Amino acid sequence: MKKILVVFGTRPEAIKMAPVVKVLQEENSFEIKVCVTAQHREMLDQVLTFFKITPDYDLNLMKANQTLNQLSARILKYIDPVLEDFNPDIVLVHGDTTTSSMTALAAFHRNIRVGHVEAGLRTYDKSAPFPEELNRQLTGRIADYHFAPTQQSAANLIAEKVFKDTIHITGNTVIDALLWGIKNINKEREDIQSIQKFIDTDKKLIVVTGHRRENFGDKFESFCSALKELSDREDVQLIYPVHLNPNVQKVVYKTLGDRSNILLIDPLDYEAFIWLLGQSYLIITDSGGVQEEAPSLGKPVLVTREVTERQEAVDEGTVLLVGTDKNTIVSECIRLLTDGDQYAKMSAKNNPYGNGTAAQEIISFLKNVK
């Protein structure tokens, strides 16, 4: 029986790895254990609770204000005893976090095979997103098995001389998680009820997220100024779950704190957040996961980044890159608010990231690994 160790540490990883864990737990072909680094603590725990996943190992590595180097060193140090204790045949990591790259490196040092879920995403700009782009490239060089969500991500790997027979196109597990999550939302939750009271159904709701490191400073101030200008319109409302990072909070509350039609709230857990996405008319975000989720909900997305590793949605026309220029954000948002044809084109449910079977595809591949 193959021994599989699934490792993740952040909320986005937990969301995208939860379907993999659930399918593995239903199989009789594997002995599975779950390790969390808790690179994000509270936000991670919310996802674990929603998906009913109990880790076998919890490294609890989150510390306030620790540097990326400090976090990297601690992951290498504390994942090593887990690898020694369980001695897995394969370690599964996800995407582009410090947890993923350092766990992959630790497994490599012990000659343990690595499977990389959501492999092959690239911008080829190591500063955008930072540090994610180099994290996923490092993990990609180490990994033995590459679970690419799309044909484009597989093509990126092939161009990097990765052996074709180690690449399996699966779709993205975020769609598996989204479809499961929508079915299991508790709409009577207090936070959902509170948001519902704010929403005016006669107005168009814009849901906003923004937290990328590379946008801090002048770019982030420009982004918030765009939101302020949009809030002057009488036909819209904005809801912004504000990231806890002080670099985000300070600018957001200074610029937007007194706007009556902008609701600034604490970050939502996954269950409440996907409910909120479903209520939106359109979404403004710098999040990678939202770029993948929104097309399945039929919601146009304006992405406040210059480049994206999720080019497929841009090519399909459901996502538009707008950067952080105030005038561009405002004009493209107004176009979606006023141009019915453009809105219909972008909101067509044509999701390039699959139909919710990615986790099963990954497990089917692993069954055939010797």
Q: Is 213 a catalytic residue?
A: yes
User: Among this protein's residues, is 325 annotated catalytic?
Assistant: no
Pairing between strand 319-321 and 204-208? Answer: unpaired
- Region of 45 (left: φ > 0; alpha: ψ -120 to 50; beta: rest) is alpha
How far is residue 57 from each of residues 37, 38, 76, 78, 157, measured CA to CA in Å?
8, 10, 15, 10, 31
Which among 96, 271, 286, 292 is annotated as catalytic?
Answer: 96
Query: Known catalytic residue: 243?
Result: yes
| Active-site residue, 168 included | no
Query: Which tokens hold the place of 156?
Result: 């990126």
Three-state DSSP class for residue 302: strand
- For residue 273, the surrounding DSSP H or E stretch is helix 270-279
- Which residue in 41, 211, 212, 305 is the catalytic one? 211
| Polymer length in residues for the chain | 370
Element (H, E) at 282: strand 282-285
Q: Which helix (H) or strand (E) holds 270?
A: helix 270-279
Sheet with 30-36, side-by-side order of all strands: 57-58, 30-36, 2-8, 90-94, 113-117, 145-148, 167-169
Q: Which of 13, 118, 271, 312 is labelled catalytic?
A: 118
Q: Active site residue: 113, 189, 233, 243, which one? A: 243
Q: How far apart are CA 278 and CA 117, in angstroms?
A: 26
Query: Among 213, 233, 259, 335, which one carries the catalytic annotation?
Result: 213
Among residues 94, 122, 132, 168, which one is catalytic?
132
Sign of the torsion formed by the C-alpha atoms of 54, 59, 65 and 66: negative
| Secondary structure of 50-95 as H, E, C letters | HHCCCCCEECCCCCCCCCHHHHHHHHHHHHHHHHHHHCCCEEEEEC
Is 280:205 a contact under the CB 8 Å cutoff? yes
Cis before 129 (ω within 30) = yes
Phi, psi of 102 (to 5 degrees): -75, -35
**Contacts by 324-328, CB closer than 8 A, 24 or more apart:** 324/215, 324/219, 324/220, 324/222, 324/223, 325/222, 326/222, 326/223, 326/225, 326/226, 326/229, 327/226
Tokens of 41: 């603590």
Active site annotation includes 96? yes
Instruction: Kindly list the catalytic residues.
Output: 96, 118, 132, 211, 213, 243
